[in-house]
Amino acid sequence: MIHHHALRVYFADTDAGGMVYHANYLVFAERARSEALRDLGAPHAELMGQYGLILVVRGAEIDYQAPARLDDWLDVTSEVTDIGGATVRLRQSVMRDGRLLVVMTLRLGCLRLADQRPARLPQRWRAAMERMRQSGDAAGGREWGG
Amino acid sequence: MIHHHALRVYFADTDAGGMVYHANYLVFAERARSEALRDLGAPHAELMGQYGLILVVRGAEIDYQAPARLDDWLDVTSEVTDIGGATVRLRQSVMRDGRLLVVMTLRLGCLRLADQRPARLPQRWRAAMERMRQSGDAAGGREWGG
Amino acid sequence: MIHHHALRVYFADTDAGGMVYHANYLVFAERARSEALRDLGAPHAELMGQYGLILVVRGAEIDYQAPARLDDWLDVTSEVTDIGGATVRLRQSVMRDGRLLVVMTLRLGCLRLADQRPARLPQRWRAAMERMRQSGDAAGGREWGG
Amino acid sequence: MIHHHALRVYFADTDAGGMVYHANYLVFAERARSEALRDLGAPHAELMGQYGLILVVRGAEIDYQAPARLDDWLDVTSEVTDIGGATVRLRQSVMRDGRLLVVMTLRLGCLRLADQRPARLPQRWRAAMERMRQSGDAAGGREWGG
């Protein structure tokens, strides 16, 4: 299952090179996977408020293929590729009109806010992540989100 | 006419105080008035690309009444209150569930990108601004956007 | 006493108009007054950690007179103009080579983190603010910081 | 040669998790390598203004080992590891009190602003990059910057 989140590029996202500032694709990715989790009934603020847990980015690989620009309407996809005890891997992409602009591979870890120690994902978030996991069958991944 | 733009608060918008970082309400306001202008057929990128003009913020007054937080779903309103030759004044507000959080009064100026000199707004942008102007009649302002 | 803080403009601070994004002058101002308070022995993290208090921006007026650009070396000044029980007013300016670019008037409030209620400034922070207060005598303000 | 750039963490850099927002380490890295190039006589604004060229990030790998927090005083190191015709690889790290917090491996490309095509680095920037290249000899890298 590949989740889609659409967003617009504003001045705040760009830099003096006339393109989206490179760090901001990580911001776009955060928005997209937050909406994916929310759509699956596992919003981030609840993870913090009810469980004292937080999902943090532990690693990122970003491949910038083409720039996004002011006023672009972008499609940010999210799919989970691997789920461990306290770790989740995602592949997130930024596209414009079907053209791939940026590909990100992220490793998230679940931490206890109180002491920053790794913690297992609560069942509701784990279930949401499972549903975001890339389908391995011949039919390919289904698409959702909006 | 009051334009409405809805947006979500993500981690990127917040700070270690647990609230939206105060400068980011200006970012929210930029998003909202960009969408208002786009809805009226006057997108910002076209103003730059076709006319070599840019709308810049010349002045801002911000009144912070209550904080927005992670995962909040906010309503950002935009209304034009005054239109001069090369200047426009707007009132923009950020609300959550009908409660006013932040009120901003902004003064925008139209500049030529080449030499940063003030320039008159092209007719299409002026017309859009006129339609965003607050209705002064007894019926009160109409609401639009989404 | 007017505190001075110097900083460089990087790509992250700019936008596609080729200038510093307007909201980022508030970021520059936060850096400058944080360093002013730190220089006076009243760092912000300690206010949060030891007292459970936070200084938040309650109001801002910003007058943009000329733009800062990539690689500019800026001087950000901070002076306290008024101190109340739980409120402080500052005047902060951004200058380049002695030319005034942006003037900000800020109203800060001291809040308890636990319940967001107004709280009196602890003595150490109040004393620091007093020392940042604009001198009203004929001799004019002294300059400090770096 | 390893360049060092020191910076402070402010509220603007943090998020509601109480730590530096993960995308902002890329911002810290941009500041540090800009200062390294400037120290070597190759400032970025001149590359744009005089040559119509820009250095953009084409790829990034980030390994987050421990979080930075509000008021932290960080040391951001920059060293060039490889130089191609239109590409440069750097290793940049963020440290606090000698402890490694975040390691970034970045691939930069030189582009013509006019058409976004790859372009060879001008000699002055190439020479600066050469001087930032990691020393491979037994003596190890020298340290500079401030």
Spell out the domain ranges in chain D.
2-145
Which of C14, C20, C22, C33 should be substituted to probe chain B, the one whose Cβ sees the most B Cβ atoms within 10 Å?
C22
Distance from CA of A43 to the nearest CA of B (A): 8
Check if B15 contacts D (Cβ < 8 Å): yes
- Give, as one character, the DSSP assignment of residue C70: T
Distance from CA of C85 to the nearest CA of D (A): 23
C8/A contact by beta carbon, under 8 A: no
Active site members of A:
15
Q: Between B and D, how many CB-CB pairs are < 8 A? A: 30
D71 pLDDT higher than 70: yes
CA distance C124 to chain B (A): 20
**C19 in contact with A, Cβ within 8 Å:** yes
Of D10, D27, D48, the CB nearest to C30: D10
Percent of chain C with pLDDT over 90: 84
CATH (one of 3.40.50.300, 3.10.129.10, 1.10.10.60, 3.40.1160.10) for C2-145: 3.10.129.10
What is chain A's pLDDT, residue by residue, as a tens digit (146 residues)? 899 999 999 999 999 999 999 999 999 999 999 999 999 999 988 999 999 999 999 999 999 999 999 999 999 999 999 999 889 999 999 999 999 999 999 999 999 999 989 999 999 999 999 998 965 443 345 677 76
- B15, B26, B89, best to mutate vs chain C, most C CBs in 10 Å: B26
pTM strictly above 0.90: yes
| Residue A104: both structure tokens together | 């990100």
* Among candidate residues B26, B36, B43, the one with its CA nearest the CA of residue B6: B36
Listed in sequence order, the residues at least 6 apart from A77 whose beta carbon sits closer than 8 Å to its beta carbon are: A2, A3, A4, A5, A32, A92, A93, A95
C-beta of residue A1 within 8 angstroms of C-beta of residue A80 = no
| Residue B15 known to be catalytic | yes
Answer for the pair B12, A30: CB distance below 8 angstroms, yes or no.
yes
